[in-house]
Each structure stands twice: as structure tokens, then as C-alpha cells.
Amino acid sequence: MKIFHCPGCRADLYFDNLACSCGLEVGYDPAAQSFTGSQHFCANRDSIGCNWIAAPDQPLCESCGMTSMHPDLSVPGNEMHWARAEAAKRHVLAGLMRWGWFTAGDSGPRPEFHMLAEATSQGAVDVTMGHAAGLVTINLAEADALERVRRREMLGEPYRTLIGHFRHEIAHFLFERLSGRGSFLADFRALFGDERQDYRAALARHYADGPPPDWQSAHVTAYAAAHPHEDWAESAAHAMHLTDLTDSFCAAGLGLGDVIAQGYDAFRDTDPARLLDRAIAIGVAMNHVNRAVGQPDIYPFVNTAVAREKLGFALGWLSA
């Protein structure tokens, strides 16, 4: 993520900022990928703190406009959890827009989101996260930090975050968009396997027996070994993580010896293998920094050559 500037005083602004320290109320313009003092703010600004601006003829910004169902706001906590989830979604969408997805130049379909809580005024309901035919369902229970950590430990997934959920589910959506393009499907099947194999049976097997003991030899995470569709979603989500990690590192003015030149734009790198080398070097360095203050590793994964090849494939197609 870039660090932005106030249109009034040029001070630094961060992606979630609603106002500058100079007092100016600001909004993020997703088309210009910069902040503006324009007053046509998204209608969700006061309720959930959305800081994007809306198109002149629309009440909602582009991100909020993709959400067709939100949780029952009469239940305490739901509005705050929804706000956190929308913030993560904006972050993920802004990254994808750097590659051209969902911008004015992209005439393809957009994903639709159902942001649902398990607690409703009618009682508790089951909410299954997932993607089906363009619709992404997000379970807002995981916007609660305690609940997310509980599920993270229970499922053994060290990278269970809201941003991670959005990247994973949107990756499933983008698979459908990419599958009609050029050699994507044939190349995908050669590397990840045939995604037409029985999905339900594969998932049931994964949850009953766990991943194969050698999952690490060819997969970025244990869950990626469940089915080629999940392998894609995990690989593509990690490709997004690693690109944003590198971009944010550079935006903060940090350097890493002569590994990264000043002004490097990770989103414009046309060499996926080179970007991955840099991102993983940053991950190793940042892990070391985090350990200094007792924080968990920023990138707690070791990627084998095959997993790297899958990450490179995902990066190449996401950024094409």
C-alpha cells in the first residue's frame, strides 16, 4: 500500500485516514488512487467509517456498492465488525486496482459481497465463508479478534486474517474471470492439477483426514493441498500478500541493501520470480524485526520451488 498525501497541506496520509492533521476532511478516490478533499463522500462514511468517495450519481463508493447484504445492525457489535470487514475489503480492492482489476478500463463483472454475522435479532445462524458464481460470503464473526484467533488455532492456519479471507475469496472469483483467457486453464491444470475433480469429496477428505504429510513439498499452505481450486486461491492470496508487503515496505521508505532500488513499484514488476525473491527477502528481514518485540513472524511460511512456481503463475496472471 502506498502512503498518500493530503491535497491541502501535502502531509502524509494513510489509506484509512478520514481527515488530515491540518483539519481537512479527506476521501480516497479509487479511480485516481489518491486522496481528495471532494465532498461527495460515500454514504457509509458516518456509519462504518468508509473513507472512499462515490461517483457523482451514486450514494455509495465502488467498494460499498459491491456489498448487497450487510449484517443485522440491531445486534450490538455487528456494525463495528462490519466496519472492520469493509476496511479490509477496501484495502484488498485498492491493491487489485493497481493491477487494473475493477477499474474503468476493466469491463468485466465485479464480485458481489454478503457480509453476514452469526448473531441476528432472530437468533444465531450458520454463515459459511465462500465464493459461488460471483457471490462472496464473509462471516463477520472473524472481525472479532478473539474469535479469529480461536478459529486460527483450531484450524492450524497461522495467516487467518480478514485481509487474507478477502484475498482468498476474491481469488476464487478471479479464477472464473481468468479461465476464459488464453492459455490460463491449460497452464493452470499442468501446474495445479485438474480443478474439475470432485470438490465436495476433496474438502470432506481434507477436514476428515487433514492434509497429506508432504503437503509442504508443493503447496503454499496445508489448506491449499485440499483441491486445485483451493491451491489457486491460497497461491493467489499469497501473491497479493507478498506484493502488498513489498509495496508497503518501499512506500515506508525502507530499503534492503542493494536488493531493492529506490522507487521500485512491486505492482508494475513484470518479472514474478524477481518480485517473489524480493518479497521473501523482506519477509525474512521483517520476521527478524518482529521477533525483537515478541511479535509473531510477519510471513511465517517456507515456500518450496514448486510452491514458488505456483505463486509466480498467480502473480503473472493477476498482474497481466
Q: Enumerate binding residues for Zn ion (CB under 5 A).
A: 6, 8-9, 11, 20, 22, 24, 42, 44, 50, 52, 61, 64, 230, 233
Q: Between 87 and 286, whose beta carbon lies closer to Zn ion?
A: 87
The distance of closest approach from Cβ of residue 187 to Zn ion in the complex, given in angstroms and rounded to an integer, is: 20
Q: Which CA distances in Å does 178 have to 121, 172, 278?
A: 40, 10, 26
Give the E-state strand segments of 37-84 in sequence order.
Answer: 67-69
Question: Cα–Cα distance between 20 and 78 in angstroms, integer?
Answer: 28
CB of 103 to Zn ion, least distance (A): 16
The Cα 175–Cα 184 span in angstroms is 9
CA 307/CA 215 separation, integer angstroms: 10
The residue among 11 and 125 lying less far from Zn ion, judged by its C-beta, is: 11
Distances (CA, A) of 222 to 56, 217, 231: 45, 10, 9
What distance in Å separates the CA atoms of residue 301 and residue 290, rounded to the nearest whole number? 15
Least separation in angstroms between CB 312 and Zn ion: 20
The dihedrals phi and psi of 313, each to the nearest 5 degrees, come to: -60, -50
Closest CA to 92 of 109, 79, 111: 111
Residue 300 is given by DSSP the state -
Q: Kindly tell me which of 44 and 139 has the beta carbon lying closer to Zn ion.
A: 44
Q: Judging by beta carbons within 10 Å of its beta carbon (0-12, 13-18, 19+), is residue 70 exposed, middle or buried?
A: buried
Choice between 98 and 165, CB closer to Zn ion: 165
Nearest distance in Å: CB 284, Zn ion: 27
Residue closer to Zn ion, measured from CB, 89 or 278: 89
What is the closest distance, in whole angstroms, from the C-beta atom of residue 100 to Zn ion in the complex? Answer: 21
- State the minimum distance, in angstroms, from the CB of residue 155 to Zn ion: 13
Residue (29 or 147) nearer to Zn ion, CB: 29
